[in-house]
C-alpha cells in the first residue's frame, strides 16, 4: 500500500506549480515579443523615393528635360546630351527618378516623363512602304 502524502504539502506544492506556470506564461510572452514584429503596412507608392528633388540639381534638370519632351523617350546618352549634363550623373539621376516613380521606363535603357505615350503602330503607312504584308 502506498503512503498518503500530507495534504498541506500537496496544497503548497500545487500553489507553487500555479505560480511558476504564471511566471512561465509571462516569460513566454516577453520571449515572443522579442522575436515577433507587428505587421507593418505596405509602403504607399507616393512614399517611395525618400528625399525631395533639389530644384537646382541634376535630377531636376533631367526631369525637366524628359517632361518638356513628352513626345519622345531617351537613352541615357540622349538624356545627357539633351540636358547638357555628364552621362554618369544623368545615369544616376535616371535611376533615382525611376525608383521614386517620377519617370517611366519605355524599354531597355529608355526613359521618358510620366506624360509620354508610345506612338501607335501605323500599319497602313508600313503597308505602303512594303514592310507589312
Spatial contact of 77 and 129, defined as CB atoms under 8 Å apart: no
In this predicted structure, what is the pLDDT of residue 40?
59
Q: What is the pLDDT of residues 89-117, one digit of tens each?
A: 999 999 999 999 999 999 999 999 988 88
| Total Cβ atoms within 10 A of residue 9 | 9
Q: Could you list the residue range(s) of the whole structural domain that residue 92 is in?
A: 50-112
Task: State the CATH number of the domain containing residue 97.
Answer: 1.10.10.10
The confidence band for 16, taking pLDDT boundaries of 50, 70 and 90, is very high
Q: Is 79 part of a structural domain of the chain?
A: yes
Q: Is 44 part of a structural domain of the chain?
A: no
Q: What is the pTM of this model?
A: 0.53
The confidence band for 31, taking pLDDT boundaries of 50, 70 and 90, is confident
Q: Is 30 part of a structural domain of the chain?
A: no
Amino acid at each position: 500500500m502506498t503512503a498518503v502524502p500530507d495534504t498541506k504539502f500537496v496544497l503548497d506544492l500545487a500553489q507553487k506549480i500555479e505560480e511558476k506556470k504564471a511566471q512561465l506564461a509571462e516569460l513566454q510572452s516577453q520571449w515572443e515579443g522579442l522575436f515577433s514584429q507587428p505587421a507593418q503596412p505596405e509602403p504607399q507608392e507616393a512614399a517611395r523615393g525618400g528625399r525631395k528633388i533639389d530644384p537646382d540639381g541634376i535630377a531636376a534638370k533631367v526631369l525637366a528635360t524628359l517632361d518638356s519632351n513628352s513626345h519622345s523617350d531617351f537613352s541615357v546618352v540622349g538624356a545627357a546630351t539633351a540636358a547638357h549634363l555628364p552621362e554618369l550623373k544623368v545615369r544616376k539621376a535616371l535611376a533615382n527618378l525611376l525608383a521614386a516613380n517620377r519617370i517611366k521606363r519605355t524599354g531597355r535603357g529608355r526613359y521618358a516623363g510620366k506624360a509620354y505615350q508610345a506612338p501607335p503602330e501605323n500599319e497602313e503607312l508600313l503597308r505602303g512602304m512594303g514592310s507589312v504584308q
